[in-house]
């Protein structure tokens, strides 16, 4: 790993600024990681980048970090790797373009555990909720974790006490895949009481973080981390959340990224469920009462489309089909007009169009989007 | 009561056919109750009316029924009375015009108890749910019954075991008004275990039925009765319902009548809540977690409108205002076009337009509806 100058550069960059650092990210995009790292180290950067990097630029622990990670069976996954979750992070890049606070893909990810990160996030659902969960919440989180893993989905969560832990444990019990996204270094056992759970996740799934080794957690880092949880899932299930739970931050980010937000209804007499019931009443989240409903809600675009196009008797369903039908085969339609025409929220349209492009159903032309012949096959019947 | 030929005629008609009897209702509307009753008694009726009345037409117990009711402190309320709930039943008449099964106002109502029926249903909410309720459901039903009564709303329900009983009891405990709509005669104590509850309701509220005295309950009568519960409330709250609960019938009728359907979210692990959670997931019901949310959801058209028009800083809210804004002050707009323009469901538009007319904000012209100067005041700013 130390032989790869790009990886060494990104290891340095991952420690030099506190994420999210939009100026540094733009600087890296402009100059490439190796040159950007050298310029940062030499202080030859514009003011906004300097502001984000000056405090730590002299502290170059890149090779040491990479060596330590390797010794712990870990690695640094970078955007240049096949393993990089390109697809899930597109939503972050798009959100950054819209200047949303939750935007910005990480510069690199520190990863420990078994399996390929890109493959693990190919079909994934985030399961989140309060630390101070009720017996009901813990039960549902474990059931959902188990059932989603059984259904072949990776369970993404934050390794916190309460709902997070129960979801991870459920997935592990099913022998499935799970990803813990930390707000500290992947070598830091936090929370302390979950040291053993984190060790178990390493055996069967992945523990990841954009923070370098040894970094300790901090309040703002949980919020920054939440955007990765929301981005890595095809949707987020809020199992139980009080009115002020941090899970509501992940929920808001999920919607902002155009991902499917789901909430588990709970007793109106339970303050642990008040956040979920509030999301439902506001119409911000889809209620889900079973694993089957979660799978149905997140759907799977490529798969759904094949199903829909392959069987003309089944009417097209879901946001993706509505977006597709809002496109014209001849004239490019601007994204905002697609949202109006389809009745699907703009953020979700912005997330779906590139997915439709990836499966060959839509293509971007100038300032708008067209339906391709593949997308037209079902769309016009 | 026996001196009034119209009341005697309607007493006879209320027993001669099994409700809902659309052919008989149309016959009464055409000939008036007195002449219709005579013609039915003499068998001088068209085939469809004959089919609905031939089995019972010889059995004239009208005066006896009225005398017995009076002896029990009851009465027959008829459409010709001021006390008739004209307003709530308009939705039934409109549903009948659309040939919906749940349509058709009753020919008369047998009523026992305190208070004026029209006044009691001026601000009312139906609270329904399973007979086999959980402790959670019973608790919420009682709380809602109490809170709604405290908020000055009449609690309408079916006096069944479980949720119904808890809702009535909650309203009684708050010293409020409650109406039990029975699927049998109002002198029949059904269910037997609720004999005392029914007696308490008589002291403080009303027990009503479209079935004549001594009539026993039957399965199909509960379904027929449910439409009255749905019609008498400004909205219906389903507190707890299994997947096959009769409350789901009342729920469907509520939506068909254009009333607000609400459901209380419950644990996804509880089969008693599965019907409610299903209504929420399908988007058929609005989730409500508190009395305040119920009151907010049913709103109150006249009141809301005054609020909205009285304060220009507050943007208009709710379906009524959307409907009002879809009207033009100059050109009548057909009902269907109002639905398209406002984005409010047709059934709800059909329920709201006459309400807007009643408060002087809209008027019916030929085949469409116009906004009046009163309705225009706020509508055009």
Task: Assess contact for A262 and A288: CB atoms under 8 A.
Answer: yes
- State residue A250's pLDDT score: 95
pLDDT band, residue B308 (cuts 50/70/90): very low
In terms of C-beta distances under 8 Å and separation of at least 24 residues, what long-range contacts does B363-370 make, across chains too?
Answer: B364/B332, B365/B332, B366/B332, B367/B332, B367/B334, B368/B331, B368/B332, B368/B333, B368/B334, B368/B335, B368/B337, B369/B327, B369/B332, B369/B333, B369/B334, B369/B335, B369/B338, B370/B327, B370/B328, B370/B329, B370/B330, B370/B331, B370/B332, B370/B333
pLDDT in tens, A221-259: 999 999 999 999 999 999 999 988 889 999 999 999 989
* CA neighbor of A207 nearest in space, from A231, A187, A234: A187
pLDDT in tens, A276-317: 999 999 999 999 999 999 998 887 554 444 444 443 333 345
Neighbours of B190 (CB within 10 A): 16
* CA neighbor of A345 nearest in space, from A12, A71, A98: A98
* CA neighbor of A99 nearest in space, from A23, A48, A171, A28: A23
CA-based nearest distance A319→chain B, Å: 15
Report the percentage of chain A scoring pLDDT > 90: 70
> Between A361 and B193, where is the model more confident?
B193
Q: What is the mean pLDDT of chain A?
A: 90
* CA neighbor of B9 nearest in space, from B112, B107, B116, B111: B107
Task: Assess contact for A277 and B289: CB atoms under 8 A.
Answer: yes
Judged against a pLDDT cut of 60, whether residue B377 lies above it is answered with: no
Q: Outline where DSSP puts E strands in chain A.
A: 74-77, 109-113, 124-129, 154-157, 178-181, 206-209, 235-240, 260-263, 286-287, 362-365, 368-371
- State residue A306's pLDDT score: 43
What are the structural domains of chain A?
Answer: 5-71 (no CATH), 112-291 (3.40.50.450), 301-379 (1.10.10.10)
Q: Nearest chain B Cα to A276, which residue?
A: B265
Can you tell me the distance from the alpha carbon of B357 to that of B352, in angstroms, rounded to the nearest whole number? 9
Q: Nearest chain A Cα to B296, which residue?
A: A281
Judged against a pLDDT cut of 80, whether residue B281 lies above it is answered with: yes
- State residue B300's pLDDT score: 57
Interchain pair A287, B274: CB under 8 A:
no
- Residue A286 at interface with chain B, using a CB cutoff of 8 Å: yes
Characterize the bridge pairing of strands B235-240 and B260-263.
Answer: parallel
CA atoms in the 13 A half-sphere facing the CB of B73: 10
Can you tell me the distance from the alpha carbon of B95 to that of B351, in angstroms, rounded to the nearest whole number? 9
Task: Assess contact for B122 and B244: CB atoms under 8 A.
Answer: no
pLDDT in tens, A325-344: 889 888 889 998 888 888 78
- State residue A314's pLDDT score: 38
Can you tell me the distance from the alpha carbon of B168 to that of B164, in angstroms, rounded to the nearest whole number? 6
Please list, in sequence order, all residues whose beta carbon lies within 8 angstroms of the beta carbon of residue B130, skipping any fewer than 6 positions away. B137, B162, B163, B240, B241, B242, B245, B247, B272, B275
- Give the mean pLDDT of A168-175: 97
- Residue B207 at interface with chain A, using a CB cutoff of 8 Å: no
Characterize the bridge pairing of strands B362-365 and B368-371.
Answer: antiparallel
Among A149-158, A359-368, B67-76, B122-131, where is mean pLDDT lowest?
A359-368
- Residue A140 at interface with chain B, using a CB cutoff of 8 Å: yes
pLDDT in tens, B34-60: 999 999 999 999 999 999 999 999 989
- Give the mean pLDDT of A35-59: 95
Task: Assess contact for B186 and B207: CB atoms under 8 A.
Answer: yes
Can you tell me the distance from the alpha carbon of B229 to that of A39, in angstroms, rounded to the nearest whole number? 75
- Give the mean pLDDT of A80-97: 90
Q: Which residues of chain B neighbour A293 with C-beta distances below 8 Å? A: 281
Task: Assess contact for A290 and B274: CB atoms under 8 A.
Answer: no
- State residue B303's pLDDT score: 47
Q: Which residues of chain A neighbour B281 with C-beta distances below 8 Å? A: 286-289, 293
Q: Which residues of chain B neighbour A317 with C-beta distances below 8 Å? A: none
- Minimum-distance CB partner of A264 among B268, B287, B289: B268
Task: Assess contact for B369 and B362: CB atoms under 8 A.
Answer: yes
In terms of C-beta distances under 8 Å and separation of at least 24 residues, what long-range contacts does B279-284 make, across chains too?
Answer: B279/B238, B279/B241, B279/B248, B279/B251, B280/A265, B280/A280, B280/A287, B281/A286, B281/A287, B281/A288, B281/A289, B281/A293, B284/B251, B284/B255
Q: What is the mean pLDDT of chain B?
A: 90
Q: Which residues of chain B neighbour A267 with C-beta distances below 8 Å? A: 136, 265-267
* CA neighbor of A233 nearest in space, from A209, A212, A254: A254
pLDDT band, residue A376 (cuts 50/70/90): low
- Residue B136 at interface with chain A, using a CB cutoff of 8 Å: yes
């Amino acid at each position: 790993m130390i032989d790869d100058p790009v990886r060494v550069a990104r290891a340095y960059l991952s420690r030099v600024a506190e994420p999210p650092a939009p100026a540094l990210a733009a600087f890296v995009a402009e100059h490439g990681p190796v040159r950007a790292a050298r310029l940062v180290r030499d202080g030859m950067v514009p003011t906004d980048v300097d502001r984000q990097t000056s405090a730590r630029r002299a502290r170059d622990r890149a090779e040491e970090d990479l060596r330590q990670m390797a010794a712990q069976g870990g690695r640094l996954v970078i955007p240049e790797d096949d393993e990089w979750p390109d697809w899930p992070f597109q939503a972050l890049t798009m959100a950054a373009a819209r200047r949303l606070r939750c935007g910005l893909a990480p510069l690199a990810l520190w990863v420990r555990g078994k399996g390929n990160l890109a493959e693990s996030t190919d079909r994934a659902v985030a399961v989140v909720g309060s630390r101070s969960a009720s017996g009901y919440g813990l039960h549902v989180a474990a059931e959902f974790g188990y059932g989603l893993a059984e259904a072949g989905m990776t369970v993404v969560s934050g390794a916190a006490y309460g709902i997070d832990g129960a979801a991870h444990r459920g997935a592990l019990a099913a022998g499935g895949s799970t990803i813990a996204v930390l707000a500290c270094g992947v070598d830091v056992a936090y929370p302390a009481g979950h040291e053993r759970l984190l060790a178990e996740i390493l055996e069967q799934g992945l523990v990841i973080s954009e923070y370098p080794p040894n970094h300790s957690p901090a309040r703002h880092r949980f919020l920054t981390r939440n955007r990765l949880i929301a981005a890595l899932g095809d949707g987020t299930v809020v199992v139980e959340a009080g009115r002020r739970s941090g899970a509501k931050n992940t929920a808001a980010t999920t919607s902002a990224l155009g991902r499917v937000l789901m909430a588990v209804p709970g007793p109106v007499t339970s303050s642990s469920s008040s956040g979920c019931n509030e999301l439902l009443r506001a119409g911000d989240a889809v209620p889900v009462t079973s694993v089957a409903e979660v799978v149905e809600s997140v759907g799977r675009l490529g798969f759904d489309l094949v199903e829909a196009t392959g069987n003309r008797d089944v009417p097209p369903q879901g946001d993706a089909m509505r977006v597709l039908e809002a496109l014209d085969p001849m004239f490019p339609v601007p994204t905002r007009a697609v949202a109006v025409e389809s009745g699907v929220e703009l953020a979700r349209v912005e997330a779906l169009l590139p997915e439709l492009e990836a499966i060959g159903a839509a293509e971007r032309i100038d300032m708008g989007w067209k339906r391709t012949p593949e997308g037209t096959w079902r769309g016009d019947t």
